[in-house]
Amino acid sequence: MALDEFESIHHWTAGRQEDEWQRRRGIVAGIGDDAAVVDLAAAADGVAEPKRLLLAVDTMVETVHFKQSTMRDEDVGYKALAANISDIAAMGGVPLHALVSVSVPPAYTPERMRRLYDGLYECAERYGVAIAGGDTTSSPEHLVVAVTVTGTVEAGRELRRSGAKPGDAVFVTGAVGMSAAGLHALLAEEARGAVMASADAGHQELAAVVKAHQRPNPSVRAGRLLLERGSCHSLNDVSDGLASEAWEIAEASGLRLMLHEKRLPRSGSMSTYASSAGVDPLEWMLYGGEDYVLLGTMASEDAEAMQLAFQQEGIPFFIIGETEAGEPDVQLIRYNQASKGSGLLSSNEKRINLKKRGYNHFL
Amino acid sequence: MALDEFESIHHWTAGRQEDEWQRRRGIVAGIGDDAAVVDLAAAADGVAEPKRLLLAVDTMVETVHFKQSTMRDEDVGYKALAANISDIAAMGGVPLHALVSVSVPPAYTPERMRRLYDGLYECAERYGVAIAGGDTTSSPEHLVVAVTVTGTVEAGRELRRSGAKPGDAVFVTGAVGMSAAGLHALLAEEARGAVMASADAGHQELAAVVKAHQRPNPSVRAGRLLLERGSCHSLNDVSDGLASEAWEIAEASGLRLMLHEKRLPRSGSMSTYASSAGVDPLEWMLYGGEDYVLLGTMASEDAEAMQLAFQQEGIPFFIIGETEAGEPDVQLIRYNQASKGSGLLSSNEKRINLKKRGYNHFL
């Protein structure tokens, strides 16, 4: 590679996280040897013994997941880690460490890479994740960032996709479609030849959806709350879109999920932006992805108590449907517009089978 | 991406490693949820309690680390994992799990990816590594494989780069320059327009160096032996070349390493190939890299016993130099040709400062 690997990594990582801060995450030896050395028992992660280790990897590829018109370099770094932390959140775990593989094309100057690491460390600090190691290679043309995260979880209490039971309530821990709306806004700006729409500038609604796309927040606290209360049956994070994630629970648990269109949480800023753009936001909400809220199921009799627990922590919690026995399937229940207020909902509802497909960024 | 991610991953990974086999590596839940769940205490890894977790990541990029004329698809999979396992070996640890991120360009058909995974699983089986998870994305043009490995090691006994002491003997656990010779042979074949030189065909010497390049063997057993005997002071694996790895020990430990040219182990097949190609192999041996033997230091009085222990296990062990107090530096000691047999070695030796630079595959 053009840069000296060791000097580069040193420039991007040195002094970012203090030794003592890393030690509290169990790091005995971090960046600078063949492998990081971790003492999990020494991690002050709040997870009760015996605990288990969680491992996940996620990759962001330039032109596939982002391009310069949609994400600043610091956003790429932030989001690459955030997407991974979300996988730990979706198990009910506490994220602890990350290893960062970057393949750097010539267009990414050391200064740009420094900004990418600025974003990465910003996310790491917010979620208490120690950067424990990495690998830097050159790349012929496109940036590739692959992040591996570890986490911990109480043994036997990890929240899987496969635990849903017939008659469960289906819930989601935040609005969906925000990120897709943000991407739509960014691509529209690009098509108009404008400078990148920024989360800091422009209309408030635009700023909110753009921020949701560029700086998503994984739902670690929500995942812990679900695990701690003990009543959650199945859990997934909305990385590939609500329909796709619901399908994963349906297939892993062997049942049907029914989602009610009118109960899907939509944010005001997304709705406002959708109106101004003349777009029906349902597509974003079902297939948009990258919202990193949690989707799961629990016995319906426990749902109200959970809603209260979330309310007390200031985290959204919406019951959006229910499960029933049957072949794996995901259905959306819509109501005829004409029947509004007639009170005869059941005769006017229409079930639509949702497709498994996930998120295609630029197709 | 063009392929359905879940179907692809299923096609490449399903049924490759039995549940019971994975359980013996501590896997509670592997591929198929947001994160893999691992019970380290349940891993039958032979590592004494309390044990620590090791984490490392390594990346292979098409056109940077390999191209179709130098590596078959199954070699790419094998070597991507082998390079990572080597990082665990270099800490004295036992490799346990791997997570595989692949970014797949259109040229890689599902059949080619299947072959890549064939090689990956072949390496995994040989070294007892459970494939615990992964991420598959599309890539615009070039294949990128980033593998993260975990391992375990007895707490406090991990072999770092930083433990070398003045007066140590410097050792290496196998021949160096083999992989670079193999790459040279492969590129020479390509320049002649020949079909890829294969480890299975052609002259025996050629086959040996090509195999060393395409199917390197990380030194897990050597690392364990060094750790178990307790006398190893510092350790590194030869991934970027002997000079570069020696520099890492010199800088991490704060001393000088002196390597004797005539003691550097050279394999017969490499020497034969070098003669036939009209090349001085010293460049390959010092800067070639990817041999994945181990380079380290230990008190010179313990070296003989270690050599015997290695002999009993059938693993090579060569004393190639010594350390001395001083600013971090790596020197090669050469002897004038004219002085051969004169007995007056000290007056005819010449010290050459070795550069830090590592391995440039195709530059």
Domains and CATH numbers, chain B: 5-154 (3.30.1330.10), 161-353 (3.90.650.10)
Q: In the predicted model, what is the mean pLDDT of chain B?
A: 91
Inter-chain residue contact B99 with A148, CB threshold 8 Å: yes
ipTM of the complex: 0.92
Inter-chain residue contact A63 with B140, CB threshold 8 Å: yes
Distance CA(B210)–CA(B200), nearest Å, equals: 9
- What is chain A's alpha carbon radius of gyration, rounded to the nearest angstrom? 21
Tell me the chain A residues in contact with residue B38 when contact means C-beta distances shorter than 8 Å. Answer: 52-55
pLDDT of residue B360: 60
Instruction: Give the A window 163-222 contacts with B, CB below 8 Å.
Output: none
Extract the tokens encoding A288.
């948009």
| 8-state DSSP, B142 | S
- At A84, the amino acid letter reads N
Mean pLDDT, range B72-99, rounded to an integer: 98
pLDDT of residue A2: 38
Sheet holding A318-325, edge to edge: A232-237, A294-299, A168-172, A318-325, A255-260, A329-335, A349-353
Q: Is B20 on the interface with A (CB under 8 A)?
A: no
Interface test with A, best of B34, B62, B97, B244 (most A CBs within 10 A): B34
Low-confidence spans in chain A with pLDDT less than 70 = 1-7, 195-202, 337-347, 358-363
Inter-chain residue contact A55 with B90, CB threshold 8 Å: no
Extract the tokens encoding B321.
């130099």
Inter-chain residue contact A56 with B36, CB threshold 8 Å: yes
**Cα nearest neighbour of A58 on chain B:** B135
Q: Tens digits of per-residue pLDDT, B179-218?
A: 999 999 999 988 887 766 555 545 788 899 999 999 999 9
Beta-bridge mates of residue A144: A61, A103
Strand A130-138 relative to strand A94-104: parallel, antiparallel, unpaired?
A: parallel
The verdict on whether omega for the bond into residue B166 sits within 30 degrees of 0, i.e. cis, is: no
Beta-bridge mates of residue A353: A331
pLDDT of residue B134: 92
**Nearest Cα to A234, choosing from B24, B33, B133, B170?**
B33
- pLDDT beyond 90 at B260: yes
Extract the tokens encoding A68.
């310069």
Tell me the chain A residues in contact with residue B33 when contact means C-beta distances shorter than 8 Å. Answer: 91, 160-162, 252
Q: Is B112 on the interface with A (CB under 8 A)?
A: no
Q: Provide the whole-model pTM.
A: 0.93
Distance CA(A205)–CA(A217), nearest Å, equals: 18
Tell me the chain B residues in contact with residue A236 when contact means C-beta distances shorter than 8 Å. Answer: 34
Instruction: Give the A window 267-326 contacts with B, CB below 8 Å.
Output: none
Inter-chain residue contact B140 with A135, CB threshold 8 Å: no
Tell me the chain B residues in contact with residue A50 when contact means C-beta distances shorter than 8 Å. Answer: 39, 41
Residue with tokens 């991974």: A84
A79 Cβ contact partners less than 8 Å away, ≥ 6 residues apart = A60, A66, A71, A119, A123, A214, A215, A216
Distance CA(B143)–CA(A132), nearest Å, equals: 25
Inter-chain residue contact B34 with A41, CB threshold 8 Å: no
Distance CA(B27)–CA(B35), nearest Å, equals: 11
**Nearest Cα to A45, choosing from A130, A156, A132, A133?**
A130
**Cα nearest neighbour of A157 on chain B:** B37
Interface test with B, best of A6, A25, A31, A34 (most B CBs within 10 A): A34
Tell me the chain A residues in contact with residue B96 when contact means C-beta distances shorter than 8 Å. Answer: none
Distance CA(B263)–CA(B259), nearest Å, equals: 8
Inter-chain residue contact A160 with B33, CB threshold 8 Å: yes
Query: Angle between the B204-214 and B73-89 helix axes, to the nearest 10 degrees?
Result: 70
C-alpha dihedral sign at B335, B338, B340, B345: negative
Sheet holding B94-104, edge to edge: A27-29, A36-38, B51-61, B144-154, B94-104, B130-138
A315: helix, strand or coil: coil
Nearest CA-CA distance, residue A38 and chain B, Å:
5
CB A261 within 8 A of CB A334: yes
pLDDT of residue B341: 52
Q: Tens digits of per-residue pLDDT, B18-47?
A: 999 999 999 999 988 999 999 999 999 999
pLDDT of residue B4: 60
- Give the torsion through C-alpha atoms of A320, A323, A327, A328, to 10 deg: 50
Q: Tens digits of per-residue pLDDT, B119-160?
A: 999 999 999 999 999 999 999 999 999 999 999 999 999 999
Extract the tokens encoding B361.
């595959």
pLDDT of residue A196: 61
Inter-chain residue contact A36 with B52, CB threshold 8 Å: no
